[in-house]
Amino acid sequence: MSSHVVQDTAALTGRTLRHVTRSPDTIVTTAVMPIALLLLFVFVLGGAIDTGSASYVDYLLPGVLLITVASGVSYTAFRLFQDKQSGIIDRFRSMPITRSALLWAHVLTSVTANALSLLLVLAVGLLIGFRPAAGPAAWCAVVGLLLLVTLTLTWVAIVPGLLARTVDGASAFSYPLILLPFVSSAFVPTGSMPAPVRLFAEHQPVTAIVDTLRALLAGQPVEGSIWPAIAWCAGVLVIAQVVAVRLFRRAAA
Amino acid sequence: MSTTAISVHGLVKSYKGVPVLRGVDLDVEAGTVLALLGANGAGKTTLIRVLATLQAADGGTCSVAGHDITEDPLSVRKASSLTGQFAAVDEILSGRENLQLIARLRHHSRPRQAAEDLLRRFALQEAADRRVGTYSGGMRRRLDIAMSLVGDPAVLYLDEPTTGLDPAGRAEVWQTMRALADAGTTVLLTTQYLEEAEQLADRIAILHEGRILVTGTLAELHALLPPREVEHVQKQPGLEDVFLALTAAGSGGMEESL
């Protein structure tokens, strides 16, 4: 059976990728809200925010990239929910295939779709003055960290995708994920926040991830924020994957 | 001479403490069609899901094409195919892509050819490259059954294949099922429509409150009740005959001729 795992995953990924390419609006919709936030903060609110750095768009962009992934993975939950509702998961499961191939197909599709949305947001950022100073090694680290974040949030999204009973339920989980960057160093430096809020903001994963991305993109040393960032992602990734796979198996029992 | 394709003994299954199957015994001979009749909630779908290895039984033994469902589920999945209660097709893909996908997942050596053959066999060639979302209910069901036949599984489960279809769609599916029976596929069919069982099945089993009440041919089931008084009535065409005759698209001749 295991000899077919690659073949099965490839066939099923081809299917879910077609779902994305046949409704390219999902990629645009994913990017629209982050782009609107980017424009709003850079051109309307940003002038009043003192970040201590020269350019607010350079400060803001990493957080907006995270918001892009957070809203992008809600489509993964949505697509998985649709598969469950339509009975096609049961069809696949009654066939002699590697059962985990179906979840991996959704994961690989999510990574692809999010990468496209991220490129779109990045392009708008460059248009409005984002000027990264990262070298090749730092860019590799940026791509690697964004990939890790996308994988993590995708596995998180699979859980409501499998559990939800309504379409709204399947994608509602992404709202807190989208709001989390607002209570972090993504939009304003945490130093301006009241003590309890600041305590939360400085110890939640978005701040560690955003600070790391910002330092890498600016071509500066990452100052120790990279390890908490990776540890948060890896920890949540492992938990979410174990829960998701268990839920997927349980539905078969 | 005859071999048993599906064999169920003492099958027990509960949901959250509520017994659904309370000791089901059932044998289906290879190459025959068995219709499982029962009201909603009788446990028909549960029985099919257990046989399709989608749910584990609480007790009893089942074997499909000679393979035990708990000990060797992979062989059971290779030998059998499920067409569930709701047409499980991918609406965003075309009919051809749906069939090719299933052929790849069944590790068919020539998936394109397999899809082509089934499109022809199920008269779906014209619609082959349209998105399935645009198909009628009958076409969708036909594609659904065609997808179950990729790789010629020995055993086919059809769970209420005509529920929700209009009469024309139902006639299409019946025709398909007759062709399957003629080709020697073992079919376990669940239905709430008595007429469907009469028309299609070699044998009929009645599932009631989690147990099989009776199994037999139509004649054997008729013999269970004493014959009634003979009445002479004028043979009228059934409403279904009239409806189908009037709405037969493109057949011509019947319209306005009444």
Preferred mutation among B85, B92, B131 to probe A, highest tally of A CBs within 10 A? B92
pLDDT tops 90 at residue B237:
no
Of A19, A96, A253, the CB nearest to B74: A96
Q: Where are the domains of chain B?
A: 4-224
* Candidates B105, B106, B140, B159, partner chain A, best to mutate (most A CBs within 10 A): B105
pLDDT band at B231 (very low <50, low <70, confident <90, very high): low
**pLDDT at residue number B177:** 84
| Structural domains in chain A (count) | 1
Which band of pLDDT confidence, cut at 50, 70 and 90, is reported for residue A3? low
What digits encode the pLDDT tens for the residues A4-29? 889 999 999 999 999 988 888 888 88
Q: Is the pLDDT of residue A49 over 70?
A: yes
* Averaged confidence pLDDT in chain B: 85
What is the distance between the alpha carbons of residues A145 and A151, in angstroms, rounded to a whole number?
A: 10
Give the pLDDT band of residue B246 (cuts 50, 70, 90).
Answer: low
Between B188 and B137, name the one with better pLDDT: B188
Q: Which positions in chain A touch B105 (Cβ < 8 Å)? A: 8, 11-12, 92, 95, 97
Mean pLDDT of B6-16: 91
Is A88 in Cβ contact with B88 (below 8 Å)?
Answer: yes
CA dist A14 and B170 (Å) reads 33
Residue A117 lies in domain: 2-250
Rounded Cα distance between B141 and B162, Å, is 8
The ipTM value here is 0.83
Three-state SS for chain B is: CCCEEEEEEEEEEEECCEEEEEEEEEEEECCCEEEEECCCCCCHHHHHHHHCCCCCCCEEEEEECCEECCCCHHHHHHHEEEECCCCCCCCCCEHHHHHHHHHHHCCCCCHHHHHHHHHHHCCCCCCCCCEHHHCCHHHHHHHHHHHHCCCCCCEEEEECCCCCCCHHHHHHHHHHHHHHHHCCCEEEEEECCHHHHHHHCCEEEEEECCEEEEEECHHHHHCCCCCCCCCCCCCCCCHHHHHHHHHCCCCCCCCCCC
Contacts 24+ apart (CB under 8 A), B64-72: B64/B5, B64/B6, B64/B7, B64/B155, B65/B5, B65/B154, B65/B155
- Whether A158 and A76 have beta carbons less than 8 Å apart is answered as yes
B54: nearest CB among A11, A12, A94: A94
Output the pLDDT for position B186: 92
Instruction: Check whether B19 has a pLDDT greater than 80.
Output: yes
Is the pLDDT at A42 greater than 80? The verdict is yes
> What's the pLDDT tens digit per position in A226-243?
888 999 999 999 999 999
CATH code: domain B4-224 is 3.40.50.300
